[in-house]
Structure 1
Amino acid sequence: MSTAAGAPAAPAGPVGGHYDVVIIGGGPAGLSAGLNLVRARRRVLILDSNRPRHSATLVSHGFVTRDGVSPLELRSLGREEFAGYPDAEFHQGLVSAVTRVEGEEVVFSVTSRGVRGSADRDVTASVVILASGLAETLPALPSMRAYYGTSLHSCIECDGFEKSDGALALIGDTDDLAERALLVSQVTDDLIVFTNGSAAVTAEEEAALARRGIAVERRPIADVVGDRSGLTGVQLDDGTLVPRTGGFVRPHWSVPLDFAASLGLDRDPDGHILVADRGATSVPGVYAIGDLTAPGPQQLIVAAGAGARTAAAVNRHLLGPL
Structure 2
Amino acid sequence: MDVDVVVIGAGPAGLAASLNLARAHRRVALLDSNRPRHAATLVSHGFLSRDGISPLELRTLGRDEVLAYPTVTYERTIVHSISPVPGGFVTVAKRPGSDEQTEVHSPAVLIATGLTEALPLPSMVRAWYGTSLHSCMDCDGYDKRGKPLALIGETDDLAERALVIRRHTDDLVVFTNGVGDVSADDEARLAALGIPVERAPIAAIEGDREGMQAVVLDDGRRSTRTAGFVRPQWHASIGFADLLGLERDADGLVVVDGSQRTSVAGIYAAGDITPGFRQLAVAAGEGTIASSVINRDLIAAGR
TM range (shorter): over 0.9
**Residue type of the alignment partner of 2:4:** D
> Which structure would you say has the larger Rg?
1
Aligned pair 1:318/2:298, yes or no? yes
| Residue 223 (structure 1) shift | 2.2
Counterpart residue number, 1:65? 49
TM-score, scaled relative to structure 1: 0.91
| Residue 117 (structure 1) shift | 7.3
Aligned pair 1:287/2:271, yes or no? no
**Mapping of residues 1-322 of structure 1, within 5 Å:** 17-101=1-85, 103=86, 106-115=87-96, 120-294=101-275, 298-320=278-300
The superposition leaves residues 52-87 of structure 1 with CA deviations (integer Å, 9 ceiling, x where unpaired) of 000000000000000000001000000000000110
User: How many residues are matched?
Assistant: 302
TM-score, scaled relative to structure 2: 0.97
Provide structure 1 residue ranges, at least 5 long, that are not aligned to the other structure: 1-16
| Residue 175 (structure 1) shift | 1.4
Is the alpha carbon distance of 1:206 and 1:95 closer, same or farther for their aligned partners in structure 2, counting shifts above 3 Å?
same
The superposition leaves residues 144-179 of structure 1 with CA deviations (integer Å, 9 ceiling, x where unpaired) of 111000000000000000101001000012111101
Is the alpha carbon distance of 1:55 and 1:141 closer, same or farther for their aligned partners in structure 2, counting shifts above 3 Å?
closer
The superposition leaves residues 154-209 of structure 1 with CA deviations (integer Å, 9 ceiling, x where unpaired) of 00000000101001000012111101000100000100000111251111111101
Instruction: State the percentage of identical aligned residues.
Output: 52
Looking at structure 2, the residues matched to 138 and 128 of structure 1 have their Cα atoms a distance apart, in angstroms, of: 30
**Residue type of the alignment partner of 1:37:** L
Contact 2:175 2:198 in 1 (8 A): yes
Contact 1:93 1:118 in 2 (8 A): no
Counterpart residue number, 1:12? none
Larger mean CA deviation between 136-145 and 57-66 belongs to: 136-145
Looking at structure 1, the residues matched to 179 and 80 of structure 2 have their Cα atoms a distance apart, in angstroms, of: 37
**Residue type of the alignment partner of 1:317:** D
Contact 1:93 1:120 in 2 (8 A): no
Looking at structure 1, the residues matched to 301 and 121 of structure 2 have their Cα atoms a distance apart, in angstroms, of: 52
Looking at structure 2, the residues matched to 35 and 181 of structure 1 have their Cα atoms a distance apart, in angstroms, of: 37
Looking at structure 2, the residues matched to 40 and 277 of structure 1 have their Cα atoms a distance apart, in angstroms, of: 21
Looking at structure 2, the residues matched to 137 and 69 of structure 1 have their Cα atoms a distance apart, in angstroms, of: 25
**Residue type of the alignment partner of 1:308:** T
**Residue type of the alignment partner of 2:293:** A
Local SS of the residue matching 1:253: strand
Contact 2:5 2:110 in 1 (8 A): yes
Looking at structure 1, the residues matched to 94 and 80 of structure 2 have their Cα atoms a distance apart, in angstroms, of: 7
Contact 2:149 2:169 in 1 (8 A): yes
Is the alpha carbon distance of 1:72 and 1:117 closer, same or farther for their aligned partners in structure 2, counting shifts above 3 Å?
farther
| Residue 239 (structure 1) shift | 2.0
**Residue type of the alignment partner of 1:24:** I
Provide structure 2 residue ranges, at least 5 long, that are not aligned to the other structure: none
Looking at structure 1, the residues matched to 256 and 82 of structure 2 have their Cα atoms a distance apart, in angstroms, of: 18
**Residue type of the alignment partner of 2:280:** L
**Residue type of the alignment partner of 1:228:** R
Looking at structure 2, the residues matched to 36 and 22 of structure 1 have their Cα atoms a distance apart, in angstroms, of: 13
Contact 1:92 1:118 in 2 (8 A): no
Looking at structure 1, the residues matched to 101 and 229 of structure 2 have their Cα atoms a distance apart, in angstroms, of: 39
Contact 1:37 1:315 in 2 (8 A): yes
Contact 1:45 1:89 in 2 (8 A): yes
